[in-house]
Amino acid sequence: MTLAPPGEAAARPGQAAAPDVLAFLRGRPLVVLTGAGLSTDSGIPDYRGPNAPARMPMTYGEFVSGPDAQRRYWARSHVGWSRLGTARPNAGHHALARLEATGGVDLLVTQNVDGLHEAAGSRVLALHGRISDVVCLSCRAISSRAALQRTLERLNPGYAATHAAALVRPDGDVEIDETDGFVVPGCDCGGALKPDVVFFGENVPPVRVQRSYDAVEALAGRDGVLLVVGSSLTVMSGLRFVKRAARLGIPVVIVNRGPTRGDEHATYTLDDGCSEFLTALAG
């Protein structure tokens, strides 16, 4: 183990300078995996970035435990949606859309549920779904989160304004302790409504995983690179693709503020802002 001098951070495996990483990537086919760090410049906080406070999102098991947990989730989400719904793509999202338009990106995979890649014009595989959709846990019908928001506003007049100062969290909800009086509608079939996103403790749909694996594996023999931007890779939903690429000898480049769980598998790591790096890469 290499120890850093007192007061200095230890170098990450493969740590490189931005010009070297940019030169390495240019002209190569890319599969890009993005995480919450890409959306911080749009005003959406992340869970594990530098100085991020400790936050524990609601798990799938907790959500399906009954009406009390669902009421708590939707009350918090109702307040948070008014802010998440106004977020706009930042320079990093737009840079990736330009790269994709010029044929430089084989597949853009995101762990984010905020829909900002789509708003910037990208075609994206959303591993964890989209917060803009709602699913019934009984009949599996998909409906609009915006429509549900209007219903929540009608059933809970003034609730969002009362809690306007609550701290926003990365998955679009806020920190509110008292939610007992909040009214939550059900589906027309009587089932419970859930955001159509993958909660902690819930599995990513296999078809999304396989499509991502296929894209990574297709980089082999083409001088392609797996580029990870703004993800700590703490959860396996993203780390598995880094591990697959490394096993196949496909270069991995990780751009993130702070170390990640995938650094040991990376060809290069770069401690840099997502928007700045992607803007430079798109040219």
Domain architecture of the chain: domains with CATH: 18-282 (3.40.50.1220)
Catalytic residue among 93, 128, 163, 265: 128
128 is catalytic: yes
* Helix/strand/coil percentages in the chain, nearest 5: 35, 15, 45
pLDDT at 22 over 50: yes
Q: Does residue 268 contact residue 256 with C-beta atoms inside 8 Å? A: no
**Chain segment 102-136, per-residue pLDDT in tens:** 999 999 999 999 999 999 999 999 999 999 999 99
pLDDT at 4 over 50: no
Q: What is the mean pLDDT of residues 5-11?
A: 46
Q: What is the pLDDT of residue 233?
A: 96
Q: What is the mean pLDDT of residues 6-21?
A: 76
Q: What is the pTM of this model?
A: 0.88
Q: What is the pLDDT of residue 134?
A: 97
Q: Which of 13-17, 84-88, 98-102, 129-133 has the lowest mean pLDDT?
A: 84-88
Buried b / exposed e across 81-101, counting CB within 10 Å, b at 16+?
A: bbbbeebebbbbbbbbbbbbe
Q: What is the pLDDT of residue 176?
A: 74
Q: CA–CA separation, 264 vs 103, rounded Å?
A: 29
> Residue 272: helix, strand or coil by DSSP?
coil
Residues 6+ apart with CB under 8 A from 260: 228, 231, 232, 233, 234, 254, 269
Q: Is 274 annotated as a binding residue?
A: no
Q: What is the mean pLDDT of residues 69-80?
A: 91
Q: What is the mean pLDDT of residues 210-224?
A: 97
Q: Is 189 annotated as a binding residue?
A: yes
- Model confidence at 80, pLDDT cuts 50, 70, 90, reads confident
